[in-house]
Structures are given as C-alpha cells and as structure tokens.
Amino acid sequence: MQLSSLLQRFAEPETLKMAKLGRELRAKGIDVIDLSLGEPDFDTPDHIKQAAIQAINDNWSHYTPVAGFLDLREAVCTKLKRDNQLDYKPEQIIVSTGAKQSLANAILALVDEGDEVIIPTPYWVTYSELVKIARGKVVEIRTSLEKGFKTTAEEVEAAITPRTKMFLFSSPCNPSGAVYTKEELATLVEVFKKHPNIIIVSDEIYEYINYVGPHESIAQFEEIKDRVVIVNGLSKGFAMTGWRIGYTASTVEIAKAMEKIQGQITSGTCSIAQKAGVVALTADLKPTQEMTAEFTRRKNRVLELISEIPGVKCSNPDGAFYIFPDMSAFYGKSDGETLISDSADLCMYLLNTAHVSSVMGAAFGEPKCVRFSFANSLANIEKGWSRIKEALSKLK
C-alpha cells in the first residue's frame, strides 16, 4: 500500500509522542510524573459545566453553523472588547474545534506553495508542520535565553523577502513563556507597516496565563489590525482542553476563506461545547484568575528547585505554564551507560531513569532547551524535580 506523500512532509507532535511514551511506562506499573503535557490540571469551572448540561437538556443536538453559533460569536466580540479593547463584528469571528484548527484554517487559507512564513524560535511544535502541510517554507528567527526568547524589529526586517507571506508567533509563548510588551509589539508593527502584504497570525491562547499582565494583542495597533488574524480559544484559560473550542478574529475576507476550508473538513464544532463557551466567555473570570494564581505559586517553587541544580539555566517565564531551561551543559555527558548528545537523548534519559516526561527543545526549534510543564500538582512538581536533580547529578 502506498500512503500519501503528504505524510512525508510533516512530523507527529512531539508533545503527544512523549505523553504516549509516559502512558506506556505507566501501564507497566511505573510511577511516571508527567511534565510533558500542555494543559491545565484543573477541572472546568462549575458554571460552565452547568451550561453544557442545560444545552443537552435543551436539545442543542443538531449540526451547528460552520462559523459557530451567532451567540457564541457575539460572546467572542464581547470578550474582545472587554479584555482587549478591540472592536470586531460576529461575521469576523470563526469558531473552530480548538486553536489548533484555527491555526490550520489560517495557514491553509493564506499560504501557497513556496510562500515564506517567518516564525521566531522557540515556537509551538505545530506551527512549522502546518506550514509544511500547506507547502510553505518555514523561515526561523533564532532568539535566545539571554534575549528573553523574543525577536526584534531588526531581526524581522532582515528575515523578510519578497516571498514573505506571514509572521506567526505566540504571546504568551509556548514553550518559552515570553510575553511581548506593548512597546516591543510597537517596534514590530513599524516593520510590518513597511511591508503591507504580510499577514500576522497572533496566537493568544495563553492570554489569561500571564504573570506580568495585562495582555497586549498586536491587533490593538489600528494601522495593521486588518492584517492580523487573532487565534484564541477556551482550552487553556478555562481548563477546557477536551471541549475543543477555538476561534479567530480577522477581516471578513479572511474569515470567509477560513470558513470555506472548515466547511469541508469538520463543519461547525460541538453544539454543547459552544453553548457552554458563551457562558465561559461572558461570566466572571474569577476561576481563571484563581488558576493563574496557583500557577504563579508553582512557577516560583519550580524556579527555587531549579536554582539548586547545577548546569540548568533558565529564565522566569512571564506567561504560560512551562519552564524552558537551557540544558546544553549536559550534552556530551554520560551516566556510564547512556551518552546524552542532544535534547531528545536528555528527555529519553529523564523518562527512563527519573521517570519524568518532558519535551525536547528541538521540537520547538531550540535544541539547547527542554520543556517542563508546571501544570501538575505541587507534590508532583517537587517529586519530579527531585528525581530530575538526582538523574542529572549522575551525568559526568
């Protein structure tokens, strides 16, 4: 049997692969601590769950409009005004089956074969693979721990060519936790103003998991707002990863293009999740704020624990729930049995000897680093990092 050539063009998500390996070890009775996955370990707040139960009882059981229910698209507009001071109309909003689908919609709607998409490293694993699916060309800008994992106007300017179609980034960033300030965004906007054909895809899925706040969106710059596609969703901020609701805000022209693509792939997302989404977006944000306060406590504890481990260099993330340390001091070392050559080897070593799962930095375009989530209980974080410390101490 001959499978399609499409499959040769992209890789499966490293994040999901590590989680699967962890589950396999757990099935063998091994106590694996999962620091690989990117989702809040919290339950969805009760008022949102009640809205879903109500939607089932009210028989919201039919197909939904491809772009999403009107009341949900109105709720997205209300939220964009309330939290981001942005004016959008419901026809500019496309609700999807998660921010991942929104990114796929945007890239498939805009990127042609050979088009260049500039992505600062480190970036979320799926960005580069979606560009490859669309036959576009990924142009990476390497950032560094020393520069806070953020790119600059000069670097973006230097990466632009006549084939540049898109600039794709997340703030807060998965995996680095970097958050662009309004001033930093303003310097990037000056570059985009000079290049009116470039579309900016701004992934804001970690908007609420922000330790320096308030969230700044690049769409707040009126001069380029028409070229920004905001990608956001309910997964992270409302602990609703399994409910699968994402959305975009863009011009009507781009929205219609994305709707066309979604109409042939998934249609409108789950009716029940959408009805619950209306409540999530318009109700009080207290549960979200409490969750972020808990992430702050865990982040501070992880930073304390890491400061006691020689060779691990990291920054204090401004957002999201990951620590992304430079682990390259361990490359070239061995415990007498296993030689660690790169981030993939180090993750496998930590999984097999410390029974802690993490994700290699190479998957995010930053081979010096490894991503460790702190979306896990404080007890597990303490246990996980004490095991990591011990495993690393054996590398000579």
By the criterion CB under 6 A, which residues form the site for ligand PMP?
38, 98-100, 124, 170, 174, 203, 205, 233, 235, 241, 246
Q: Residue 282: how many CB atoms within 10 A of its CB?
A: 15
Q: Nearest approach, Cβ of 392 to ligand PMP (angstroms)?
A: 26
Q: E-assigned strands of 296-355?
A: 322-323, 333-334, 339-340
Residue closer to ligand PMP by CB (options 66, 201) is: 201
Is the Cβ–Cβ distance between 147 and 178 less than 8 Å? no
Q: Nearest approach, Cβ of 167 to ligand PMP (angstroms)?
A: 15
Q: Nearest approach, Cβ of 245 to ligand PMP (angstroms)?
A: 7
Q: Which two tokens stand for residue 380?
A: 């597990």
Buried b (16+ CB within 10 A) or exposed e, 94-106: bbbbbbbbbbbbb
Residue closer to ligand PMP by CB (options 98, 277) is: 98
Residue closer to ligand PMP by CB (options 111, 245) is: 245
Residue closer to ligand PMP by CB (options 17, 387) is: 17
Handedness of CA 347, 350, 352, 357 (dihedral sign): negative
Q: Which two tokens stand for residue 30?
A: 């091994």
CA–CA separation, 119 vs 17, rounded Å? 23
CA–CA separation, 80 vs 390, rounded Å? 46
Residue number with the shortest CB distance to ligand PMP? Answer: 98
The one-character DSSP state at 38 is: -
Q: Which two tokens stand for residue 263?
A: 């109409």
Q: Nearest approach, Cβ of 160 to ligand PMP (angstroms)?
A: 23
Q: Nearest approach, Cβ of 172 to ligand PMP (angstroms)?
A: 8
- β-strand partners of 168: 201
Q: Nearest approach, Cβ of 233 to ligand PMP (angstroms)?
A: 4
The one-character DSSP state at 200 is: E
Token pair 């620590």 in the structure block, residue: 323
Q: Residue 257: how many CB atoms within 10 A of its CB?
A: 18
Q: Nearest approach, Cβ of 124 to ligand PMP (angstroms)?
A: 4
Q: E-assigned strands of the chain?
A: 33-34, 93-96, 116-120, 137-141, 164-170, 199-203, 228-233, 246-249, 322-323, 333-334, 339-340, 356-357, 359-360, 370-373
Residue closer to ligand PMP by CB (options 13, 65) is: 13
Residue closer to ligand PMP by CB (options 64, 235) is: 235
Q: Which two tokens stand for residue 240?
A: 């609703």
Is the Cβ–Cβ distance between 243 and 44 less than 8 Å? yes
Is the Cβ–Cβ distance between 22 and 28 less than 8 Å? no
Q: Nearest approach, Cβ of 186 to ligand PMP (angstroms)?
A: 22
Residue closer to ligand PMP by CB (options 106, 156) is: 106
Residue closer to ligand PMP by CB (options 105, 315) is: 105
Q: Nearest approach, Cβ of 10 to ligand PMP (angstroms)?
A: 16
Residue closer to ligand PMP by CB (options 16, 309) is: 16
Is the Cβ–Cβ distance between 279 and 286 less than 8 Å? no
Q: Residue 22: how many CB atoms within 10 A of its CB?
A: 22
Which is nearest to 12 in space by CA: 123, 125, 180? 125
Residue closer to ligand PMP by CB (options 164, 170) is: 170
Q: Nearest approach, Cβ of 206 to ligand PMP (angstroms)?
A: 7
